[in-house]
Chain A
Amino acid sequence: AQRVTQPEKLLSVFKGAPVELKCNYSYSGSPELFWYVQYSRQRLQLLLRHISRESIKGFTADLNKGETSFHLKKPFAQEEDSAMYYCALTGSNYKLTFGKGTLLTVNP
């Protein structure tokens, strides 16, 4: 069974502080991993995917197969980063599974 775990429901940081949103996964094969973001009153949208290895809005995420983790990081949080963040996994069966999400609040 594939599973995505986001241990923190809520995360609150101050502007300019580093932020790390944790994501652990369970999957027997080689997964595709994603981070999605949902800003207030907007549709869920892709933030980044592990295969592209790019930085979007200052966020990066590294796939650690040994620890089965895909944590999302940003060195200096901004107030506009406040949103709900979801880690997601898809395997060879097309099944796209999401974690429960972490609500990030960046305080001024």
Chain B
Amino acid sequence: DGGITQSPKYLFRKEGQNVTLSCEQNLNHDAMYWYRQDPGQGLRLIYYSQIVNDFQKGDIAEGYSVSREKKESFPLTVTSAQKNPTAFYLCASSMWGERAFFGQGTRLTVV
């Protein structure tokens, strides 16, 4: 799964600050996804994008924003409006109906 890269692996931010998580893929996949993984909650979909310059809200989009200016990149911004931002964030990409490839994840801690 080396084709999809998330950075950084660990991120610390002060409460009230916005923070942007990076996700890049070189698999030429159309679709990209952001998930939040919390213990006992599984993977909850934040945002997804089917194509450049288009994206859709997932199930827990409040307090998050994304952009898809390039096919390879799908950054996620965790805004100060997100009430409980400390979590493990996973990025994925796929072609429709095909297997999704996942990044290694970013663990965000807000203090």
Chain A residues with a Cβ under 8 A of chain B: 6, 9, 32, 34, 36, 43-46, 49, 51, 86, 88, 90, 93-101
Is B43's CB under 8 angstroms from A98's CB?
A: yes
Q: B100: CB under 8 A from chain A?
A: yes
Residues A44 and B90 in contact, CB atoms below 8 Å apart: yes
Q: Is the CB of B97 within 8 A of A98?
A: no
B→A interface (CB under 8 Å): 1, 31, 33, 35, 40-45, 48, 50, 56, 58-59, 90, 92, 94, 96-97, 99-100, 102-105
- A16 to nearest B CB, angstroms? 29
Contact B1 A43 (CB under 8 A): yes
**Among candidates B1, B40, B92, B105, residue contacting A96 with C-beta atoms closer than 8 Å:** B92
Q: How far is the CA of A46 from the CA of B92 in the complex (A)?
A: 12
> A101 to B42, Cβ gap below 8 A?
yes
Q: How far is the CB of A33 from chain B (nearest CB, A)?
A: 10
Taking a contact as CB atoms under 8 Å apart, the answer to whether B103 and A96 are in contact is: no
Q: A49-B99, A90-B97 are in contact. Are A95 and B42 (CB under 8 A)?
A: no
Q: Tell me the nearest residue of chain A to B102, going by C-beta.
A: A44
Whether A94 contacts B90 in the complex (CB less than 8 A), given A46-B99, A49-B99, comes out as no
What are 12 A-B pairs at a CB distance below 8 A? A9-B40, A36-B100, A45-B102, A86-B43, A90-B97, A94-B50, A94-B56, A95-B45, A96-B48, A96-B100, A97-B45, A99-B42
Q: Assess whether A32 is in contact with B97, with CB atoms less than 8 Å apart.
A: yes
